[in-house]
Every structure is written in C-alpha cells, then in structure tokens.
Structure 1
Amino acid sequence: MLAFTALLLGPCSPQAGPLTPSGEAPAATGWRAEPVVDGLAHPWAIAWLPDGSALITERPGRLRLLRNGRLDPAPITGLPPVCTDCGQGGLLDLAPHPDFAQNRLLYWTFAEGTADANRTALARGRLDGRQLRDVVVLFRNADAKSGGQHFGSRLLWLPDRTLLMSIGDGGNPPISLNGVPIRTLAQDLGSHFGKVVRLTEDGRAPADNPFVDHPDARPEIYSYGHRNIQGMVLDPQTGEVWANEHGARGGDELNRIVAGGNYGWPEVTYSMEYWGPPVSDARSRPDVIDPVVVWTPSKAPSGLAIYTGTAFPAWQGDLFSGALKFRQIRRLQRHQGAIAGEQTLDIGQRVRDVRQAPDGELHVLTDAAQGQLLRIVPD
C-alpha cells in the first residue's frame, strides 16, 4: 500500500482553518474488479443512455458506443475537430441531456485549437444512430492558451437543468497569458481559467448566476479559485455538489462547490511547487472555502462518484474518488455529513473515471493506450 496523508474536515462548518492529518488508509475488502471492455485508447469518460447502452470518450478524439457489453468497432461520427496534440487535452467529458430519451441531445467538452492556441470548449449534438447531427459549439473559454496543461473538464447537470462545467487554470509556471502567470487567473473573475461555470442548456449564463451583476466578471462563473477539477458529482440526497481537483506537489482537494465560492488557488493552498517551496504561505483565509479533504502526496484525482447501489450496503452514500498517480480508488466514508475515514481500492492501473451505472454498479475507466472499462463487484 502506498503511504499518504489525508486531511479531513467535518460537515459544512464555518472556516475551520488549517486541517489536521488523519493517517493512512486501509484496504477495502470484499470486492473485485471485473473487466467489461478492453482496447480503449485513453478513455476519459462514460455516460449511460436510457436504452442501457453507454458512450465512452477516448481522449484522441473518438466517441465509442458500448451496447450489450460489446464495443461497436466504428466510432460515432460528426464530432467537431479536437486538438489531438494538446497534451492533457482532447475529447474529455460527456453528459446526455436530462431529456435525452426525447431529444437525443448529447453534450461534451473538448480541447479545440492548436498546441500553441487552445481552449476548453463545450459542444452539443443530436445522436442519430451512429452519427451526431446539428452539432454546435455552445461555449468556449474566452481566452486561448498555449501548451497542453490543465483543461479540466467535467460536466454535471443540476436539478434545475443548468449545467456545471469545470475549466482548469491553464498550466504551471512559466506558462503565462498577457504577461502574468496563467494560474493566477484562477482568482480573476474576468477570466474563465480556474473556474466552474454554470450554463443553460443553450450555453448561456443563467440570470441567477452569482456574478452576473458584477461589471468586471464573466457572467458564466459559478465558483473560482480552482486548479484543475477532474471529478464532479451531485449528491442525490442532499443536492450538494462535490468535486475533486489536482493540487501541484501535494494539496489535491475534495471540495463542496457552492455558488460564488472562492476555493483559494493559487493564493491559499496546501500545494508545493514542483521545484520545492510552498505555492503559498496561506493554507486558510476567511474569504476562502476550506477543502473537506486534502491529499498529500498527490494522488492525482480523476472521476468521482457517490454510491447508492445495493451490492455493497456498507458503501451507500460514500464517495469514490479515482487516483491516476496511485492507480486506485479512494472510498471516502461519510457519517452524518462528515468524511469519517478512507479506504483504498487498488486497481493497478491509472484510474481516469469512476461512475455509477443505472443498475447501481460502480464502473471504472483506466487511462492507457489499451485502457479498460471495469466494474466493481462483490468478491
């Protein structure tokens, strides 16, 4: 088992200040990972459709259909151009419209542009058999950046049928934009970098977004001060939005996302620079929402799910956070709204996405040139 330090905080309390270590995580027992599909090229996200089939994005720019446990050999056609030489970018998350059964609308995020000028974008299309029709880019980061770092990007439908989308901070030093380190724009309400945006189904800013009346703010912004969110899930019981995001060297975070919240990056963080010193001397500040969990060393968070199935009764209501670096999933045990402990599910491969299927089973995508879709079943 890999050693780590996790920092835990109770439920939605006032500013608690710097967190305290909780210790190492034991291994979860009574489960095994069962292969469903092999041969996926760096899969990034999976989403189920009402007929029981599923769609899987592959980062190199392919959308695959999984039906009756088998992967269609030909990708879905009709995607707009995807930047395939953008490092961490490519074809990213996808989310069927809440009324997909009636309107067949699919939403997805992707890196568009070139290696020297790229941005995170959101597109929508109508799935017609094995082809996307009426494809339109609904939203894109207002500014292009260079390099292949920190695109985000997860999608999450809220009960009011608005859509949350995470956008990364643009990258590590020395990457800059207009003469300033690009990551500092996570604190700039005039930029989409380092934000969660909230959009209507047509890609516009809802009238009740927290900064729509702020003259210098992008109206789409919902929360800010994020480094690179790559897991986001809605708690069906409480309506809370949970997200996990990458820190730098240490300082990965699990957060509750609230409208208008500032999550600190890079001014308030537990992260260390890759070359040594702390990114910031501040770990807490009155105007910044403290993380619920901080992982050090970094586990490199990926997909995030809340378990509501029946196969593992003791897991119900717990969060399951993927870990690219440690090649595992962390079970975050909850008690009366607080994170009460952690367990480790060792997958042995880079975990890119963790999702619960409509039948209640947890599914896992592994990030490799020959990636897999796995399901977690009782052992």
Structure 2
Amino acid sequence: MNRANLLTIALVAPLAAQDYSKMKTDKVFEQLCSGCHGADLSGGQGGSLVDGEWKHGSSDDELLKSIKEGNAQLGMTPFKTVLDDRQIRSLVIFIREKEKQAKEKGMEFPKPEPGKITKTQHEDYKIEMVVEKGLKNPWAIAFLPDGRKLVTEKQGRLRVIGADGKLLDEPVQGIPKIIDHGQGGLMEVAIHPDYEKNGWIYLGFADGTKEGGETKTITAYVRGRIKDGQWVDQEWIWKADPKFYTGAGVHFGTRIVFDKGYIYFPVGERGGWQEAQDVENAKGKIYRLHDDGRVPNDNPKFDGKTPVSGLWSYGHRNPQGLDIDPRDGSIYNTEHGPRGGDELNWVQPGHNYGWPVITYGMNYDGTPITGITEKEGMDQPVIYWQPSIAACGLSFYRGDKFPKWKNDLFAGALAQQEIRRLRLVDHKVTEQEVILKNIGRVRDVTDAPDGYIYVILNGPDRIIRLVPAK
C-alpha cells in the first residue's frame, strides 16, 4: 500500500466512529473542517474558503469533489466515507453563504434616501414617497386608469389610494372572507387588461375556515368590481377541492399575470413537499385559465393522470413573483426555496421544476434535504441565489422613463431587503445588479402605467416609487 493511501486511512479512521448524520451543517463544518480552514473559514493550516481563490476549481461540482474525494498529498481528508451526498451538498451551501458574506463586507450598495440621487450601472434615480403612513403589512399594488391605486393588506383589507395620492381611511367593503393565517392573508390584487371596458379586479388570498381553534386554508382567486366603495359582482376564478385545504401556515404563493385572454397564477405547496410532484394535487403548481376561470382545452396533458384543474406547471415550492417577458411572451417566476435555494425559473407548459426532489438548498435549520441538484425530466432554474434572498415581487420594466432599463427584470427580496435588476438574453441572465438595499423588506416591485417603478416595503410599511434622477 502506498504512502498516500496510508495517509488517507490515518485521516479518516478517527472520523468513522463519529455519527454526523443528525448534525446541522455548521456543526459538521466545526467538527470536520474548522481545524484546517478556521472557524470563520478564513484559513489556517488549510487555505481560506472565503477569499474567492480555489486551487482545485471554483464550481459547485469541483467543490463537491474536493470535499468528497479529498487530496491525500495535501492532507485534505476525503469525507465520502463519513458524510453522505446530502451532507456534502449542504457543506457546499454553507461555504457559499460564508463566501458571499465575506465578499460583501465593505461593499457599498445603493441605499437611497429621499431627495438624493442613487447611481446604478445604467440609470440614476431618486425615490419619492407614495404612502408613508397608514398601511399595515401591504402586499401588492395595482393601478386603475383614473389614477387611483389599489393596495392589499395581509390582514384582509383592500385599500384605495386616491388620484390625488392620499390613502383613503375606509377600505373597500364586502370583499371575500380572508383568513389571516401564518404567511397567508389577502395577498394579490390585479387589474384586467380591459378594465376600462369590463371593470374586473382580481384578488389572490388565503381562503378557508377558522373554527374551534382549527384553521384550514389554501390560496384561492376571485374577481369582482368596485362600485361606490363596495366589492360587487364577485365570481370565483379558482378554488381548490376542500380535501387540499390544510392547517399549515406556510407557502401560499400568490401573484397574477394576464396574457392574450389567459390568467396565470401560482399556489404554493403549503409545506407539503411531495405534493408539489403530484399533478393530481392542487399544491405547488402554476395554473393557466381563461380570464373568466374556464380551463383552456390546450392546457398540458399527463399520461395516465387527471391533473388538477388548470394545471400549467408543477414542482414549485413557494412562488411569490410572476411576470411575462414583453419581448417574447415567456413566463418567469421567482420562488422561495429552502436555505440557499431561491430560484428564478422560465415557466413552460407541463414542465416539472423539481421541488423537493432536486434543489440547490438545505433546510433553514442547517440540516440537509438532498444531494441531487439535477434529474432528467426536471427543469433547472435560470439562476438560484445563495444565500437566499427571500424572493418576492417580480416585474419586467416596460416603460420609457428609464430607457436603459427597458425590458430588464426587477426582482424584490424580503430577507436581503433589496431589488435586483436582471438582464435576460436567450433565457439567460447576462447582468445582475443590486439597485436598492436596506430601506425595508421588499414585498412587491412593479412597473406602473406612469413609467415609474413602485415598491412596497414592509418594516416600515410604506410605498415608494423610483423616478429618473434628471
């Protein structure tokens, strides 16, 4: 037996007795890696893992291989005998998070202030306050042709901002019963493209019951009209079978877009991981219907299965961003993944987006989910974010006020409190830039008919808009 093999045995033998299977990833790193790479990953006997310099390749696959196979001549322990693929994948996520955090230390991000110019790569802007006080947990905004704006509040109120810019005290009366439960409540509001002719307004919300201490909910969609401050003419667009209602308080997933007479919207998997893979289950899906709720005849078919009504795509976790590329009609969504697994997806009919069979993330508590990031028949994300940004709100810019941003995609982020500008070419991200950061959790970002970009912030709850610096 050669010296390298003897060294490998000597390194691994003491580790085999330890059970790492139930350890969180930070503890695994502390036990196995910190002695060489430092508790803060900045280096020691082994090299730094956060300086961006990699001796044996910088891709995730190359990093996985280094952890798995080791390098006996350099004293790098192979961990394939003591860690499974799930644990090794989680170590990669952990290292990427720390690498990103180290890289961002000392970096300056655009933090806009009223009256000051914020400079970005292609456009400079100022922020203007739209609503500073009076809102509680605002979620989404929609624009009426007469200059009024509608804003949803999670607790179940549909608010109106007058054409004069003032927030009305009284919410719209008579909207459907909203269940404010966990992450769900009154979420989306959207205006029909032909609103001036038909007056239709659409809502996405947590529907269900709250009786005797037991709550059962799932996301539902309706449309109606507003007349003299009252919600009237309500029609159900989509409502799940009662068997799919659940007491879980997570992953409702809600946005609405229209295109050529169709309406698209998501329903989150509500914490039911495997249900996202079942085309006969309502959860973890994106839907396409006629704008009156009828199911199109050309929706995807699935051999041997009767898909849930309106199914367009599946394998989604918690989509809270959805928009259509004005250039070619492609649909994109952003969704909350697990820790290190937030995604931007190009949504195509009948496609499976993999959750939870494949993911680039791990559980929020640091325990592994899977070692698989790719599988035949499951789509890859256009990009994924590590660390997670808590993606929420998504909008292509269609206006003329910011010509150098035309057709760029703007993605909001709750946890990272930022807006990212993405430039897409042939369904690939060619530019990514943080244009706003650290003025609140970004719940929604959308371009508006006036050509400006409106942003809903939580903590503090307010609405701002971006206007050209000139």
2:217 aligned residue: 118
Deviations 1:122-162 (A, max 9, x none): 11112213111122333222210112111111111122x11
Cα offset for 1:281? 1.6
Instruction: Indicate which of 267, 279, 292 corresponds to 1:167.
Output: 267
The 2-side partners of 1:337 and 1:118 are apart by 35
Higher mean C-alpha deviation, range 269-278 or range 299-308: 269-278
1:263 aligned residue: 353
Instruction: State how 1:205-354 maps to structure 2 within 5 Å.
Output: 205-211=295-301, 215-335=305-425, 337-344=427-434, 345-354=436-445
CA pair 335-209 structure 1, distance change in 2 beyond 3 A: closer
Deviations 1:153-209 (A, max 9, x none): 1111122x11111000112xxxxxxxxxx2110000010110001122232321111
2:456 aligned residue: 365
Give 3-state SS (helix, strand or coil) of 1:71's partner. coil
Cα offset for 1:293? 1.0
1:174 aligned residue: none
Deviations 1:314-356 (A, max 9, x none): 2222111000001111111334653112111214200000010
The 1-side partners of 2:326 and 2:419 are apart by 21
Give 3-state SS (helix, strand or coil) of 1:366's partner. strand
CA pair 281-97 structure 1, distance change in 2 beyond 3 A: same
1:59 aligned residue: 154
CA pair 336-261 structure 1, distance change in 2 beyond 3 A: closer
Deviations 1:26-54 (A, max 9, x none): 74622232211122111111111122211
8 A Cα contact 1:211 1:218, kept in partner:
no
Normalised to the residue count of structure 1, the TM-score between the two structures is 0.87
The 2-side partners of 1:336 and 1:165 are apart by 24
Q: Does 1:78 align with 2:174?
A: yes
Q: Does 1:35 align with 2:135?
A: no
CA pair 98-214 structure 1, distance change in 2 beyond 3 A: farther
8 A Cα contact 1:211 1:219, kept in partner:
no
Q: Does 1:135 align with 2:234?
A: yes
The 1-side partners of 2:237 and 2:303 are apart by 22
Normalised to the residue count of structure 2, the TM-score between the two structures is 0.71
Q: Does 1:375 align with 2:465?
A: yes
1:152 aligned residue: 253
Higher mean C-alpha deviation, range 255-264 or range 49-58: 49-58
Give 3-state SS (helix, strand or coil) of 1:294's partner. strand
Percent identical pairs in the alignment equals: 40
Instruction: State the one-letter code of the partner of 1:36.
Output: V
The 1-side partners of 2:420 and 2:352 are apart by 25
2:145 aligned residue: 50
Instruction: State the one-letter code of the partner of 2:206.
Output: A
As a proportion of its length, which structure holds more strand?
1
Give 3-state SS (helix, strand or coil) of 1:101's partner. helix
Higher mean C-alpha deviation, range 27-36 or range 317-326: 27-36
2:291 aligned residue: 201
The 1-side partners of 2:237 and 2:255 are apart by 15
Q: Does 1:109 align with 2:204?
A: yes
Deviations 1:221-245 (A, max 9, x none): 1000000000101111111111100
8 A Cα contact 2:448 2:454, kept in partner:
yes
Cα offset for 1:284? 1.2
CA pair 43-336 structure 1, distance change in 2 beyond 3 A: same
Provide the alpha-carbon RMSD of the alignment: 2.5
Instruction: State the one-letter code of the partner of 2:166.
Output: R
8 A Cα contact 2:200 2:223, kept in partner:
yes
Instruction: Indicate which of 425, 438, 446 corresponds to 1:355.
Output: 446
The 2-side partners of 1:83 and 1:90 are apart by 5
Higher RCO (C-alpha under 8 Å, 6+ residues apart): 1
User: How many residues are paired up?
Assistant: 353
The 2-side partners of 1:268 and 1:308 are apart by 34
Q: Does 1:89 align with 2:180?
A: no
The 1-side partners of 2:302 and 2:339 are apart by 34
Structure 1: tracts of 5 or more residues without a match: 8-17, 172-181
